[in-house]
Structures are given as structure tokens and as C-alpha cells.
């Protein structure tokens, strides 16, 4: 009798390879986590736990401050996170906001102006950045029911306002390229997509990855004064040459490494060259519930030359069936990725 998928995925080969294992309890330098979620949506739900526990976990992990992106969800979440985090520990958190696309039908072709006005108001209340999620380009529709692309000119007032207010825009415009490929057993994210079927973007229903990437580069070109941070290594960690070319072409563009040491660590030579070359353009980010053990996987990747180790301390092969290798970055590069770039690009606490 053939094994089912669920039976197969529980069987992992046990490696007999003997390699050095470096234990890193704290990073070499303080860290600013520029990409995280503290609400319930992404599984952490720190917002409903005592703040002292969160701060203790951050201290244990060496996290000096953290960007909470969850304010993009809606006005209620934004206000709740301001009250529970920013008001109580302003030096440790930056809370971001996001557009309310549900108002598009009401505002019609003036939605961009409406979103810009809302952004100004939210900055007055404490927002320190703008988060754009992948629903733009995948799900958001205008008053006619037409899909709104990332580079839609009606949103220009929003990007212009972000530039005027010196707000960083963290943008997640596409998912791993495997999420757009046929979902058969040759898909390297097979297990992940079966665990999260809503993450799959079949070609017959969604814009393909390359079209989304082209939309985004047109947006970068049209708004050179706006500081964009491409989440997850610019949403294309599988192709660092392409990300490198985009960074070279657009000086207003930066990337964070959130949830992508799995990709970077399986191409350690290319990743090391990329990170050193673009040391001024890369920000640290976890995009996972605050957990000192998860942060330590990142520190091990960045600071050591360890070989063939797990990219997560909590979920084995969460993204794919491979292990990673450390890149052992020089101290001057570590400082930039860990905190100096964030200090320069993000609004002060």
C-alpha cells in the first residue's frame, strides 16, 4: 500500500555527518529586529501576554528594539498595539500601519488621496512606518472589481506622502517562487503548501511571480524618494543575482532577511558575497514569534562557518527539506545588518 503524504513527511533521513556546532547565546552586537509581528495573526500573540515577558525574551535574545508590523491589519489593531507597546515601552518598539483597502469602493479613484490622509493622521498618533502586504497585487480590488497592481498609479499619493514624512515602507509583494509553480511532488515547498494551502497562487487565478516583480520594480522607478524595504530578501531570496541587480538599480531600495536564512543558508558562498557587497542595504528581521532560540539560529548563520544545521529551532524543515551553512560575516558587516542600517533607515524611537 502506498504511503500517504502525511506519512511520508514525517520520515526524515538521519545524517551521520559530524560537524562543528557553535553555541551562540547572544549576538556579537545589539540587534534591531526590523520585521516582526506581535499579534495573534502570525502565531506569536505577544500582544495579549504581559509586556514584561516580551521584554525579558527580547533581552535574553539581545534585541535592543523591534518593529511591530501588525498595525497594517486594521485601525483597531494599530491602536491596540500603540497602547500596549509603544506607550508603555517607547524605546523598544516601532509600530507600523497600513492602508485600509476596504474603503476603496467608497473613495473610488480618490483612494490614494484617502490613504495618504489616513497615513498622516496615523503618524500623528504614533505610526513610524508603512507595511504593505501581499494582498496588494493578489487580492485587493478597486470599485469596479478589478485587481489593483502594486504599481497602480492611483496609489502614488500614498508613496509620495511616505517620502515626505520620511517613513520607511516595508513591502511584501510576492511569496517564494515555488508558491506560484505547479503543486506536485517536484515542488520544493510541497509540505509547507499542504500545511498552508491558502499560500498557494496557481497561475490560472493569480499574477505570476515575474509579473509581480516587474510591477514592483516599476514602483521603485516611479518613486525614487521613497525608502522601500523589500521583505524576505526582496521576496526573491532564491535569486540573489536578481535582488543584487535591483539594489544596484534603485538606491532607494533595501531588503530585510526575515524568514529567509533557510534560502540564504543553502547558498552560503553566494549569500556571503551578496551580504558583504550590499552591507549598507540589508536589515535584520525574524518574522517569527519572539523566541531566543529562533534568534540564535540567525546569529549562528551570520556569525559562524558552521555547516549543515537546521534553520529553525522550533519547526524542522518548515520551509523545505534542506539544512543550511553559516556565512561568518566580518564584524563591520554584522554591525550594519544587526543595527546600523536600521538606525539610519528607520524613524528614531
User: Which domains, ranges and CATH numbers included, belong to the chain?
Assistant: 23-345 (3.20.20.140)
3-class DSSP assignment, residue 141? strand
Residue 319 grid cell: 520551509
In this predicted model, what pLDDT tens digit does every residue of 286-296 receive, in sequence order?
Answer: 999 999 999 99
In this predicted model, what pLDDT tens digit does every residue of 240-274 receive, in sequence order?
Answer: 999 999 999 999 999 999 999 999 999 999 999 99
In this predicted model, what pLDDT tens digit does every residue of 164-211 receive, in sequence order?
Answer: 999 999 999 999 999 999 999 999 999 999 999 999 999 999 999 999
Distance from C-alpha of 239 to C-alpha of 20, rounded to nearest angstrom = 28
Do 331 and 47 touch, CB atoms closer than 8 A?
Answer: no
**Count of beta carbons in the 10 Å neighbourhood of residue 125:** 13
Do 134 and 171 touch, CB atoms closer than 8 A?
Answer: no
pLDDT at 2 over 60: no
What's the chain's Rg over C-alpha atoms?
20
Give the mean pLDDT of 94-116: 94
pLDDT at 44 over 90: no
pLDDT at 6 over 70: no
**Residue 108: predicted pLDDT:** 80
Q: CA dist 54 to 33, 168, 313, 325, Å?
A: 14, 25, 19, 29
**Residue 183: predicted pLDDT:** 96
**Residue 36's beta-bridge partner residues?**
68
**Residue 223: predicted pLDDT:** 98
Cβ contacts of 44 within 8 Å, gap of 6 or more: 36, 37, 38, 288, 289, 290
Residue 131 grid cell: 507595511
Distance from C-alpha of 5 to C-alpha of 3, rounded to nearest angstrom = 7
**Residue 1: predicted pLDDT:** 33
Amino acid at each position: 500500500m502506498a504511503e500517504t503524504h502525511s506519512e511520508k513527511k514525517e520520515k526524515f533521513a538521519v545524517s551521520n555527518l559530524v560537524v562543528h556546532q557553535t553555541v551562540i547565546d547572544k549576538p556579537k552586537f545589539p540587534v534591531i529586529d526590523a520585521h516582526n509581528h506581535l499579534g495573534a495573526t502570525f502565531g506569536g500573540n505577544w500582544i495579549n501576554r504581559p509586556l514584561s515577558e516580551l521584554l525579558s525574551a527580547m533581552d535574553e535574545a539581545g534585541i535592543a528594539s523591534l518593529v511591530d508590523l501588525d498595525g497594517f491589519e486594521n485601525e483597531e489593531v494599530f491602536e491596540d498595539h500603540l497602547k500596549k507597546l509603544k506607550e508603555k515601552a517607547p524605546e523598544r518598539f516601532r509600530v507600523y500601519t497600513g492602508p485600509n483597502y476596504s474603503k476603496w469602493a467608497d473613495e473610488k479613484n480618490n483612494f490614494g488621496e484617502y490613504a495618504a490622509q489616513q497615513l498622516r493622521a496615523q503618524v500623528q498618533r504614533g505610526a513610524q512606518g508603512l507595511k504593505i502586504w501581499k494582498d496588494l497585487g493578489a487580492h485587493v480590488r478597486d470599485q469596479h472589481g478589478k485587481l489593483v497592481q502594486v504599481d497602480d498609479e492611483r496609489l502614488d499619493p500614498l508613496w509620495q506622502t511616505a517620502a515626505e514624512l520620511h517613513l520607511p515602507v516595508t513591502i511584501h509583494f510576492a511569496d517564494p517562487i515555488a508558491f506560484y509553480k505547479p503543486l506536485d511532488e517536484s515542488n520544493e515547498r510541497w509540505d509547507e503548501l499542504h500545511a498552508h494551502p491558502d499560500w498557494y497562487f496557481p497561475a490560472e487565478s493569480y499574477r505570476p511571480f515575474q509579473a509581480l516583480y516587474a510591477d514592483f520594480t516599476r514602483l521603485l522607478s516611479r518613486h525614487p524618494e521613497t525608502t522601500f524595504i523589500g521583505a524576505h530578501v526582496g521576496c526573491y531570496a532564491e535569486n540573489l543575482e536578481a535582488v543584487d541587480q535591483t539594489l544596484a538599480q534603485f538606491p532607494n531600495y533595501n531588503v530585510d532577511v526575515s524568514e529567509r536564512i533557510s534560502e540564504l543558508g543553502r547558498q552560503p558562498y553566494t549569500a556571503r558575497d551578496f551580504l558583504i557587497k550590499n552591507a549598507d542595504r540589508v536589515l535584520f528581521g525574524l518574522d517569527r514569534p519572539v523566541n531566543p532560540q529562533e534568534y540564535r539560529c540567525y546569529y549562528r548563520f551570520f556569525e559562524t562557518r558552521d555547516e549543515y544545521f537546521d534553520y529553525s529551532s522550533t519547526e524542522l524543515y518548515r520551509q523545505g527539506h534542506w539544512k543550511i551553512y553559516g556565512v561568518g560575516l566580518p564584524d563591520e558587516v554584522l554591525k550594519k545588518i544587526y543595527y546600523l542600517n536600521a538606525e539610519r533607515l528607520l524613524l528614531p524611537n
